[in-house]
Amino acid sequence: MRTFVLDKNLKPLDPCYRARARELLHKGRAKVFKRYPFTIVLQDRTVEESTAHPHRIKIDPGSKTTGVAVVQEQTGRVTNALEISHRGEQIKGALESRRALRRGRRNRKTRYRKPRFLNRTRKNGWLPPSLESRIAHIETWVRRIRKVCPVTAISQELVRLDLQQMQNPFISPVEYQRGELFGFEVKEYLLMKWGRKCAYCSVENVPFEIEHILARSKGGSNRVSNLCLSCHSCNQAKGNKPIEEFLKKKPELLNRVLVQASSPLKDATAVNATRWELYRRLQSTGLPVEVGTGGRTKFNRKTRGIEKYHWTDATCVGESTPEKLLLKGIKPLMVKAKGHGRRQRCGTDKFGFPIRHAPSQKFFMGFQTGDLVKANVLVGKYAGTYTGRIAIRFKPSFKLTTGGKSFDVHPKYLKTIHKADGYEYAF
């Protein structure tokens, strides 16, 4: 990982090595600007005095985790990488809980409430909150990276599954289907659908083969609903037997395979539902946006011999991927979306009756719940130095959580390291 660098006017410069950043801080030529992502400000340099090289943000959107990589265009050096964990399922669960409470309240013998009328219109491009949050997280980090790095272009994996684009007008149908990316699109789909496990024995981390549930010799087709992943031994053992015969002693496994073969991809659906809206919003940044398919991403990763992670997938998005990617020493920053606190002003019990009310004030004595702080406790049972997150109370006794334990600490012992911004960080 490299350190983001700003000049004295807060304009982005090329990221530098961490050792160089420590040297600049030690000599007093730089100061810490931000903890996550770690950024320093030079006190004696401006952009005009230094030429910044173009960088590209590469994004591999996912339903649960999105990979982001920053690549220097000229050298192929990956300077920084992120893995953003979304909270779409958490948001969906909270909305369902609220819906259940409201339905219960309406069905009880309470006062009559007139039905709402003509006030439920939705703007064009509306997305459910669980999907909107995924786009918002990516937008947020693209904006943050642009503030601290000289970014000139963006690459986005737009579709997971797509046919090869026809480049030669005289190409034959077979050549069109069996182009350079033949097999990568279908294999990627099956890897996602079957969780990168053998459908029959659940073995992982072995070479997988594409298995026809109903064999071709028995009239089976090449449709993806008739395909699954299988290890070599299971594929050979099944042969062209009907799956009912092959798994007749394992009825539960048979039922699971048949159900999973016909089930849709929930995570892939979430990505497909947001891909075009994300593309439009990235275009609104004014930077050129390159798009690529999941098959192209996997092809780039395989041909360059790179291991699969969310952030390494991001480095391989699009045709602009350099022939040689420099990944040595990269340790991605793990970013987990935690939200900015509950919007609910009134807490309820399990029956929906109010039992508490949230205070209107979010700050107290300069601190906010979720701030990352350094505590230097001088006396008492917990004397020592700690780093952790706080939950404020409206009295001089905050709750500090660190290392799996929580205790009360006075604000006079606290120093803010990183303000609460809705995310949790780790390496």
Q: Please, what are the averages of pLDDT over each run of 10 residues along the chain (427 residues)? A: 91 92 94 93 79 91 93 92 93 88 74 70 86 94 95 88 38 45 66 86 89 88 84 91 89 88 72 88 94 88 91 92 90 92 79 81 88 90 90 88 89 91 89
Q: Boundaries of CATH 1.10.30 in the chain?
A: 182-264
H-helix or E-strand containing 138? helix 129-148
Q: Do 98 and 112 meet the contact criterion of CB atoms below 8 Å apart? A: no
CATH for 182-264 is 1.10.30
Residue limits of CATH 2.30.30.30 in the chain = 346-420
What does the alpha-carbon distance between residue 239 and residue 328 come to, in Å, rounded to a whole number? Answer: 43
Between the alpha carbon of residue 352 and those of residues 96, 116, 276, 310, the distances in Å are 14, 21, 39, 41
Q: What is the pLDDT of residue 6?
A: 94
Separation CA 77–CA 54 (nearest Å): 11
pLDDT at position 87? 93
Residue 5: what pLDDT? Answer: 94
Q: Compute the distance between CA of residue 341 and CA of residue 282 in angstroms, rounded to an integer.
A: 27
What tokens appear for 200 in the block? 């029959």
H helix or E strand, kind and range, residue 93: helix 88-107
Sequence-distant (6+) residues with CB within 8 A of 153 are 54, 56, 57, 73, 287, 288, 289, 290, 320
For residue 195, give every residue at least 6 positions away whose Cβ sits within 8 Å of its Cβ, in sequence order, or none. none
Q: 205 near 231, Cβ under 8 Å?
A: no
Q: In the prediction, which pLDDT does 356 show?
A: 84
Give dist(CA 325, CA 302) in Å, integer: 12
Tokens of residue 197, six digits: 């496990």
What does pTM read for this prediction?
0.76
- Domain covering 346-420 in this structure, CATH number: 2.30.30.30
Q: What are residue 363's phi and psi, to 5 degrees?
A: -115, 150
